[in-house]
Structure 1
Amino acid sequence: MLQGDTVRLKCHFKTFDGKSVDPVDVKLTIYNSKKEQIEQIPLSDTNKENVGVYFYNYVPASELNEFIFEFAGSYNSKPILSRGRVEVKFN
């Protein structure tokens, strides 16, 4: 992605047998490349595409070269999460 672009961060929560699930208390956490938390965003049904599929449109701060995103929640009283990394290039 290029600096200044909006990126759609997306995740699909599934059980180990591949069944889509909706966790509770879903949050998106953004970390810098040093794994320091930048911000945490609570998500709601407006950020949900389908069962288990959540998204967030994010514009990274201009000083970031890359960032790590983490979608996390709880399912059956156990934590469930998905992480990814995005490289930001200067255009």
Structure 2
Amino acid sequence: MRSPARRTRARAAVFAASTALLLGLAAVPAAHADGAWHRAATLDDLAQRTGRYFGSAVDNPELDDTAYADLLGSEFGATTPGNGMKWYATEPRRGV
């Protein structure tokens, strides 16, 4: 299990990387079928325009951080369990 300080650093790193990506990609205009150029509303919108998915892995303790949870809800089109669904968390002993 990660220490609280390590989880905080990991969240800060994900938040910083997502913000940098958002700022970098949002500055690039995207073309619509009608040829009009405008800025993407979210990173997920930008990914969808190129036929991609944009998601994140997240664990329950991270969802207590309101700013982080808001970022997940607004920018990512999908979330998946991080470490919470690995064997050590779901089956601490074989068959249990």
TM over 0.5: no
Higher helix share: 2
- The structure number with the bigger radius of gyration is 2
TM, length-normalised to structure 2: 0.23
Q: TM-score, normalised by structure 1?
A: 0.24
Q: Which has the higher contact order (CA 8 A, sep 6+)?
A: 1
Query: Which has the larger share of strand?
Result: 1
